[in-house]
């Protein structure tokens, strides 16, 4: 039976009157009243003490994929869900997870040095000295043993190689050393191999996350001298998940590729090291002085090489299949059980992983405890709620991808949304997701109060964005009722749901205060002790995240009408369309200007005559592209969205239940985001099907919006760019048609 609860101090405390009167998108006023009572009850349950105690337990031992600690955590999580009244099971997949059997990095000359390749334990932090830690390495590097001269390539992104080329330096046959940062790590060996390098070393420069950024652990929170960033170097922008079972779940009986046919493994051996191991290597590199922006934080002048430093890099792996344990828990829906809200956070870490992933996982567990308690008290979500704790996220989103691939057909019919979290610490709410969720997420952000400032998390974020915005963007920030969602690239488990299956997704978490977890990211120093000292000593943000994600799930599960709003989508896509047109124009202007300067002899005049840089290449000016199909589809989308949003606003403000046809409407609404996915996939990477959001082919986690068009323009593939304009236009038109059909259904509801 439903009881009335006092409004919690955390919800609505900033201005209860105003917020309490605001309609909740998707709910009729009567339903909103009941929803608010349950939300107030919900907010009384998650506690900072629980968050702390789960974190102590789940980060108490190394728990990477395939480890005894990982399995124990999965079983404990399943037990908690069951104790809280959920049905919960573990779904097992068999995935390729190479662990090194040999790692050797040696400077052979001019001086000798053997890299230590280990992170020492820290006094006062007992979990740093435990057995069972994975060594420092990059997962999905191929085996190799290479000896070659060393070249310093800065961050190792494509622009750095253009610079090297102009300096007349080739990495052909060399081992490159690149610092972490500026792109996803897997991009670095990929670009190095494309330029003919035979091996790749990645290191953490003290400028980026070490002593230049702050005091180092254990004094402060930043990366110590021997701290190493582990991580995957698989070709994630091509696809995520088990390299041997593309497109299908990695079950026992799945057909597997030969390893030699797995296209997402690296083409050259890769190894990550600390700056302490990098120092003698970098110091031994001669040749030209590295450009000013390439200088790092170590106390000597960085040179580019090649040589005289010569290194031997050898890595070998066991290439084993290991079980991934996904915990899947359910609360059944009472009216529309065939529609699912999926919520996930991974449970595996590289080592102890207090910040990554346990800080987000504890919020998910507190939501589950609260929802389970409310279910016993009589709360009945309209739709089914599925809570997942994924295994194997760190190697390459293995648990989530295999589950999404295994259940793709069901998910495409059932999934209303996927709500993700991962690392979480003090700071500002990160508001990322599909734009049809923008209204929903803004309303939630305006309801939950930031634990340290007393502002709502939405208000604090708006003010922070105003502080950081260029002048041209401030009027929009001040005048627009909703904060724009950040488009999602990759970097956590939302990718298979959003970008492979076309399921509307959100990625939520707090962060941004110093020192932040960047300094211990993927090292043995990401521990319970570190987290309590430097990330969130009160665990108040674990509770705050549970409120944000919990309310998001509750509203998705209980709204009369699935709470999508489409104006924000039209708005966002219109902005992206403007950007790609601008990109083409500025590219044309840049080419024209450079060609003109070549004609004028500018580059010959300014280069040092005694060590002349090569002249830049003369490019042909990009052709005009026909964006008319995109503009037409956008106009259709905009008008369909405006009509739906206004019909919906009227329905949501009228009392009385919405009658027959509601479930059909909701089933139809779920297919709108799906319309934005194109089954043929993006150019050269068919697994990625979303036409609006993708991780960049050459940036990794960073998002590329309208990726098919944008990346073709960036790469000068004009034919593909124009074809992609048509593909995106067709997807937008499909979405517009489905939105129009939904408007008709909504208008007809009794
Ligand atoms: Zn993570």
The pLDDT tens digits for 484-501 are: 999 999 999 999 999 999
Supply 548's token pair: 């944000």
Q: Ligand 1 mean position to 476 CA, how many Å?
A: 32
Q: Give residue 7's pLDDT.
A: 40
Q: Ligand 1 mean position to 393 CA, how many Å?
A: 7
Q: Ligand 1 mean position to 354 CA, how many Å?
A: 10
Q: Ligand 1 mean position to 511 CA, how many Å?
A: 13
Q: Ligand 1 mean position to 459 CA, how many Å?
A: 27
Q: Ligand 1 mean position to 626 CA, how many Å?
A: 41
Q: Ligand 1 mean position to 613 CA, how many Å?
A: 43
Indicate the Cα dihedral angle 472, 477, 479, 482, nearest 10°: 140
Neighbouring residues of 702: CB distance < 8 A, sequence distance ≥ 6: 183, 184, 489, 695, 696
Q: Ligand 1 mean position to 562 CA, how many Å?
A: 29
Residues 263-290: tens digit of each pLDDT: 999 999 999 999 999 999 999 999 999 9
Q: Which helix (H) or strand (E) holds 368?
A: helix 359-376
Residue 411 above 90 pLDDT?
Answer: yes
Q: In the β-sheet with 321-331, what is the strand arrangement from edge to edge?
A: 87-96, 321-331, 383-390, 336-346, 415-420, 505-512, 427-433
Q: Ligand 1 mean position to 178 CA, how many Å?
A: 23
Q: Ligand 1 mean position to 360 CA, how many Å?
A: 8
Residue 157 above 50 pLDDT?
Answer: yes
Question: What is the average per-residue pLDDT within 59-70?
Answer: 98
Q: Ligand 1 mean position to 45 CA, how many Å?
A: 25
Q: How many CB atoms lie within 10 A of CB 719?
A: 10
Instruction: Return the ∠ at Cα 529 (arms to 527 and 533), rounded to 5°.
Output: 115
Q: Ligand 1 mean position to 133 CA, how many Å?
A: 17
**471-479 and 457-468 are packed helices; what angle lies between their axes, rounded to 10 degrees?**
160
Q: Give residue 10's pLDDT.
A: 45
Q: Ligand 1 mean position to 520 CA, how many Å?
A: 13
Q: pLDDT tier at 21 (50, 70, 90 boundaries)?
A: low
DSSP three-state, residue 159:
helix
Q: Ligand 1 mean position to 356 CA, how many Å?
A: 5
Q: Ligand 1 mean position to 98 CA, how many Å?
A: 19
Residue 749 above 90 pLDDT?
Answer: no
Q: Ligand 1 mean position to 39 CA, how many Å?
A: 28
Q: Ligand 1 mean position to 64 CA, how many Å?
A: 11
Q: Ligand 1 mean position to 422 CA, how many Å?
A: 5
Query: Cα dist. 43→5, 13, 229, 543, 723 in Å?
Result: 10, 12, 37, 9, 50
404 alpha carbon, distance to own chain's centre: 16
Q: Give the whole-angstrom CA distance, residue 555 versus residue 371.
A: 12
Residue 12 above 70 pLDDT?
Answer: no
Q: Ligand 1 mean position to 199 CA, how many Å?
A: 27
Q: Ligand 1 mean position to 197 CA, how many Å?
A: 30
Q: Ligand 1 mean position to 214 CA, how many Å?
A: 23
Q: Ligand 1 mean position to 357 CA, how many Å?
A: 5
Q: Give the whole-angstrom CA distance, residue 505 versus residue 346.
A: 16
Q: pLDDT tier at 572 (50, 70, 90 boundaries)?
A: very high
Residue 656 above 80 pLDDT?
Answer: no
Q: Ligand 1 mean position to 359 CA, how many Å?
A: 9
Contact 391, 70 (CB under 8 A): yes
Q: Ligand 1 mean position to 361 CA, how many Å?
A: 10
Q: Ligand 1 mean position to 25 CA, how many Å?
A: 31
Supply 39's token pair: 């939300």
Nearest to 577 by CA among 637, 506, 619: 637
Residue 20 above 80 pLDDT?
Answer: no
Residue 483 above 50 pLDDT?
Answer: yes
Q: Ligand 1 mean position to 514 CA, how many Å?
A: 19
127 CB-contact burial (10 Å; exposed 0-12 / middle 13-18 / buried 19+): buried
Q: Ligand 1 mean position to 54 CA, how many Å?
A: 17
Q: Ligand 1 mean position to 709 CA, how many Å?
A: 30
- Phi then psi for 430, rounded to 5 degrees? -95, 120
Indicate the Cα dihedral angle 460, 462, 466, 469, nearest 10°: 120
Q: Give residue 435's pLDDT.
A: 98
Q: Give residue 654's pLDDT.
A: 87
Residue 19 above 70 pLDDT?
Answer: no
Per-position DSSP letters for 86-103, written without gaps between them: -EEEEEEEEEE---EEEE
What is the three-state SS of 480-549?
CCCCCCECCCCCCCHHHHHHHCCCCEEEEEEEECCCCHHHHCCCCCCCHHHHHHHCCCCCHHHHHHHHHH
Supply 167's token pair: 């300096």
Q: Ligand 1 mean position to 113 CA, how many Å?
A: 34
Q: Ligand 1 mean position to 712 CA, how many Å?
A: 30
Q: Ligand 1 mean position to 353 CA, how many Å?
A: 8
Q: Ligand 1 mean position to 374 CA, how many Å?
A: 29
Q: Give the whole-angstrom CA distance, residue 395 versus residue 242.
A: 9
Q: Ligand 1 mean position to 394 CA, how many Å?
A: 6
Residue 338 above 70 pLDDT?
Answer: yes
Question: What is the average per-residue pLDDT within 530-539?
Answer: 96
Question: What is the average per-residue pLDDT within 511-536?
Answer: 93
Q: Ligand 1 mean position to 37 CA, how many Å?
A: 33
Q: Ligand 1 mean position to 716 CA, how many Å?
A: 34
Q: pLDDT tier at 611 (50, 70, 90 boundaries)?
A: confident
Q: Ligand 1 mean position to 173 CA, how many Å?
A: 35
Nearest to 530 by CA among 67, 56, 74: 56
Least confident of 87-101, 127-141, 674-688, 689-703: 689-703
Q: Ligand 1 mean position to 493 CA, how many Å?
A: 8
Nearest to 177 by CA among 108, 277, 300, 100: 277
Residue 13 above 80 pLDDT?
Answer: no
Q: Ligand 1 mean position to 553 CA, how many Å?
A: 20
Rg (CA), the chain: 26
Q: Ligand 1 mean position to 35 CA, how many Å?
A: 32
Q: Ligand 1 mean position to 718 CA, how many Å?
A: 37
Q: How many CB atoms lie within 10 A of CB 21?
A: 8
How does strand 199-203 pair with strand 138-139? unpaired
Q: Give the whole-angstrom CA distance, residue 35 versus residue 551.
A: 10
Contact 341, 329 (CB under 8 A): no
Q: pLDDT tier at 2 (50, 70, 90 boundaries)?
A: very low
Q: Give residue 750's pLDDT.
A: 66
Q: Ligand 1 mean position to 187 CA, how many Å?
A: 18
Q: Ligand 1 mean position to 160 CA, how many Å?
A: 28
Q: Ligand 1 mean position to 433 CA, how many Å?
A: 17
Q: Give the whole-angstrom CA distance, residue 498 versus residue 504.
A: 6
Least confident of 1-10, 78-87, 108-117, 466-475: 1-10
Q: Give the whole-angstrom CA distance, residue 367 versus residue 448.
A: 14
Q: Ligand 1 mean position to 659 CA, how many Å?
A: 42
Q: Ligand 1 mean position to 251 CA, how many Å?
A: 24
Q: Ligand 1 mean position to 345 CA, how many Å?
A: 8
128 alpha carbon, distance to own chain's centre: 27
Q: pLDDT tier at 18 (50, 70, 90 boundaries)?
A: very low
Supply 666's token pair: 């909701």
Q: Ligand 1 mean position to 236 CA, how many Å?
A: 15
**567-600 and 707-714 are packed helices; what angle lies between their axes, rounded to 10 degrees?**
0
- Phi then psi for 646, rounded to 5 degrees? -80, -40
């Amino acid at each position: 039976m439903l009881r009335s609860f006092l409004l919690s101090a955390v919800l609505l405390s900033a201005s209860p009157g105003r917020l309490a009167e605001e309609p909740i998108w998707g709910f009729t006023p009567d339903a909103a009243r009941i929803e608010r009572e349950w939300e107030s009850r919900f907010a009384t349950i998650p506690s900072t003490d629980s968050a702390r105690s789960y974190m102590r337990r789940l980060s108490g031992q190394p728990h990477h994929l395939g480890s005894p600690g990982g399995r124990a955590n999965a079983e404990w999580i399943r037990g908690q869900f069951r104790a809280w009244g959920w049905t919960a099971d573990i779904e097992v997949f068999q995935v390729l997870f190479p662990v090194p059997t040999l790692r050797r990095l040696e400077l052979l000359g001019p001086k000798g040095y053997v890299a230590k390749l280990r992170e020492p334990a820290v006094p006062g932090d007992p979990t740093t000295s435990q057995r069972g830690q994975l060594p420092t390495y990059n997962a999905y590097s191929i085996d190799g043993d290479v000896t070659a001269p060393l070249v310093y390539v800065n961050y190792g992104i494509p622009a750095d190689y253009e610079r090297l080329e102009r300096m007349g330096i080739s990495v052909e046959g060399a081992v490159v050393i690149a610092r972490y940062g500026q792109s996803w790590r897997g991009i670095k060996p990929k670009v190095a191999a494309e330029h003919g390098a035979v091996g790749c070393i990645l290191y953490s420069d003290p400028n980026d996350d070490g002593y230049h950024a702050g005091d180092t652990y254990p004094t402060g929170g930043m990366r110590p001298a021997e701290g190493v960033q582990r991580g995957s170097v698989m070709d994630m922008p091509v696809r995520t998940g088990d390299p041997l079972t593309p497109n299908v779940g990695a079950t026992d009986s799945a057909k597997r590729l030969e390893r030699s046919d797995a296209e997402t493994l690296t083409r050259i051996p890769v190894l990550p090291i600390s700056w302490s191991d990098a120092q003698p290597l970098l110091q031994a590199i001669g040749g030209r002085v590295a450009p000013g922006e390439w200088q790092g934080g170590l106390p000597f002048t960085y040179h580019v090489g090649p040589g005289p430093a010569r290194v031997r890099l050898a890595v070998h792996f066991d290439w084993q299949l290991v079980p991934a344990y996904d915990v899947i828990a359910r609360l059944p829906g009472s009216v529309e059980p065939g529609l699912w809200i999926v919520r996930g956070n991974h449970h595996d870490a590289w080592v102890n992983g207090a910040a990554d992933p346990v800080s987000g996982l504890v919020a998910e567990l507190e939501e589950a405890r609260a929802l389970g308690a409310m279910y016993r008290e009589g709360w009945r979500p309209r739709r089914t709620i599925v809570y997942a704790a994924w295994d194997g996220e760190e190697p390459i989103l293995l648990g989530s991808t295999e589950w999404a691939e295994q259940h793709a057909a069901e998910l495409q019919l059932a999934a209303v949304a996927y709500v993700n979290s991962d690392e979480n610490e003090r700071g500002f709410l990160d508001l990322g997701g599909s734009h049809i969720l923008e209204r929903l997420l803004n309303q939630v952000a305006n309801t939950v109060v930031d634990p340290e400032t007393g502002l709502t998390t939405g208000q604090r974020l708006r003010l922070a964005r105003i502080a950081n915005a260029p002048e041209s963007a401030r009027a929009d920030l001040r005048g627009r009722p909703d904060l724009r969602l950040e488009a999602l690239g990759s970097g956590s488990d939302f990718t298979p749901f959003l970008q492979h299956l076309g399921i509307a997704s959100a990625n939520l978490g707090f962060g941004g205060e110093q020192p932040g977890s960047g300094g211990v990211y993927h090292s043995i120093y990401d521990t319970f002790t570190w987290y309590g000292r430097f990330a969130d000593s009160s665990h108040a943000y674990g509770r705050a995240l549970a409120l944000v994600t919990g309310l998001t799930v509750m509203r998705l599960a209980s709204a009369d009408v699935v709470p999508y709003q489409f104006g924000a989508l039209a708005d966002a896509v219109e902005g992206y369309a403007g950007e790609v047109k601008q990109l083409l124009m500025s590219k044309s202007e840049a080419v024209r200007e450079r060609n003109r300067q070549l004609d004028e002899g500018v580059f010959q005049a300014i280069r040092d005559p005694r060590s002349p840089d090569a002249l830049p290449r003369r490019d042909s000016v990009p052709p005009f592209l026909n964006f008319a199909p995109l503009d037409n589809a956008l106009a259709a989308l905009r008008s369909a969205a405006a009509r739906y949003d206004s019909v919906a606003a009227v329905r949501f403000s009228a009392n009385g239940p919405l009658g027959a046809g509601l479930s059909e409407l909701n089933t139809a609404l779920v297919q709108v985001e799906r319309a934005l996915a194109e089954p043929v996939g993006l150019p050269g990477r068919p697994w990625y099907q979303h036409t609006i959001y993708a991780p960049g082919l050459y940036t990794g986690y960073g998002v590329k919006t309208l990726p098919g068009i944008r990346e073709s323009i960036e790469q000068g593939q004009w034919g593909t760019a124009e074809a992609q304009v048509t593909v995106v236009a067709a997807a937008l038109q499909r979405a517009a048609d489905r939105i129009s059909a939904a408007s008709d259904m909504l208008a007809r509801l009794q």
